[in-house]
Amino acid sequence: MKISKIYNLNKSQAELDFVDIDTNEDLPLFLDPFFLGKKQDNWSIDATLTLRSFFQRVIDLIRGGNEDEAKELFDHLHEPNSTCLGMSIGNPRGRGVGNQDTDKIYDSLLKSRAIQTGLIQDIEDNILFVDNFGKDKLSDMTTNIITNHLIIYTQNQCKLHNIPLLPSVSSGYFWNRRSNEWEIEHTEMLVIEEHKILLVPKGIVSFCKGYTPDKYYNHFVLEYLQNENLRLNTALVQRKNSGAHFVTKKSIKEFNPQSKNFLRRFTLEHPEVLEQFKDKTNINSLTNIEITDIDITKIRQDLIIKLQSIPSGNKCASDFHNIIIGILELIFYPHLINPIKEKEIHNGRKRIDITFDNAAESGIFYRLSENFKISCPFIFIECKNYSRDIVNPELDQISGRFSVNRGKVGFIICRHIDDFQLFMDRCKDTYRDDRGLIIPLVDNDIIQLLQNYDNWNTGFTEKFLTDRIREITIS
């Protein structure tokens, strides 16, 4: 049964930031450290730093001749079944790094001499150059190393959706990049039927089809060798009737069949090809439909009906707050991720209704930073289920939460504003006074965004937000 069903969240995958796993079987999705390293949101950057810390420690020990100590670091790369991701059949049990596999992986790593020669720089390079090392093992290693990041994420998501946590549960081992060693602690954990569960952000999972030895070999190595054979006019060069020269990949494969041993030798001689592969390989976050089969049209319609059925006023403030979280998750994914509810700042003296990490690599949330030069690593959301108009104190409330480090962009979301133009003028004043950019959205705006939402095309949302922001920022 899926998490959303177990806890009666009444939400689809599109309304959730985490992968809505079935705790009884694995979902064939993976944690890809290469993809994680490409992402620019704070959570992903922090997790990537931890991954790189672990693998750099392994590299330093091996190159320093401390192979036994390096091998000990692999002792805690166990089979993680807490995420319910991977390739198991039936009950989740992991098919990646098992207790019997760690020795084999480490021995293969040493045998390849990929670390000693400087060939391997990042943990994801193992999948290219180490024998018997595939995406399942890489994903499992990643999960083990960033376990603490996933625990904190799980705690935040459970608090966001009122999912109960058990106190004082063993975290299992995780890598601490500050102490540079494996650690364990007792903390709040999500436990279902006596099994610890780690929720995973849907924005960081993939099918692991981008950074693979097959793609490296077929699209970069072979193409390089084709060009080299043409340049040197070797015996592999053929001529068309038109007189044009060409070299087939098939002919190169006959002399250089794909193997990790060949990739190791080739890359040592031509490291620039690996760099091109890394630079040109792009992986996008999966859409909600790719993660699970859902009817986006029905979800949009249901959300509109639910929103319209919630009365304004303090009595239904939580209901309004809850549905807005799901709507924003649907509309703004994958640009805004990792929502956290009622985040405390200033030592708890102030609270922010919701904060999202800004993970945008294009679009309006990216341009706010790059073009408008407005700091916005986080986007703040204030939900007001008022039966009266929003006035100056509400504006001052959200602008008082802004800072250069946290960001200076936020939304005020409410039911209705009688004199909307007057409120927009107040947002303009706030912006001109350099107190931040506040974007108002009312029910009719939300409904319009939902009605025009398209899982594959965010053009309407982009134009809507761009027009509203332009009206505030350009007087």
Query: What does the radius of gyration of the chain's CA atoms come to, in whole angstroms?
Result: 25
| Confidence at residue 104, expressed as pLDDT on a 0 to 100 scale | 78
The answer for 138, left when phi > 0, alpha when psi is -120 to 50, beta otherwise, is: alpha
Q: What are the tens digits of pLDDT across the range 164-196?
A: 999 999 999 999 999 999 999 999 999 999 999
Task: Enumerate the β-bridge partners of residue 198.
Answer: none
pTM of the model: 0.91
**Neighbouring residues of 134: CB distance < 8 A, sequence distance ≥ 6:** 127
| Confidence at residue 429, expressed as pLDDT on a 0 to 100 scale | 93
Q: What is the CATH number of domain 295-473?
A: 3.40.1350
| Confidence at residue 352, expressed as pLDDT on a 0 to 100 scale | 59
Which of 298, 366, 302, 301 is CA-nearest to residue 332? 366
* Domain ranges across the chain: 3-206, 213-280, 295-473
Contact 70, 138 (CB under 8 A): no
Q: Which residues of the chain have pLDDT under 50?
A: 89-90, 93-96, 346, 348-350
> What angle, rounded to 10 degrees, do the helices at 135-145 and 147-160 form?
70
| Confidence at residue 404, expressed as pLDDT on a 0 to 100 scale | 87
Q: What are the tens digits of pLDDT across the range 102-126?
A: 777 888 888 788 888 888 889 999 9
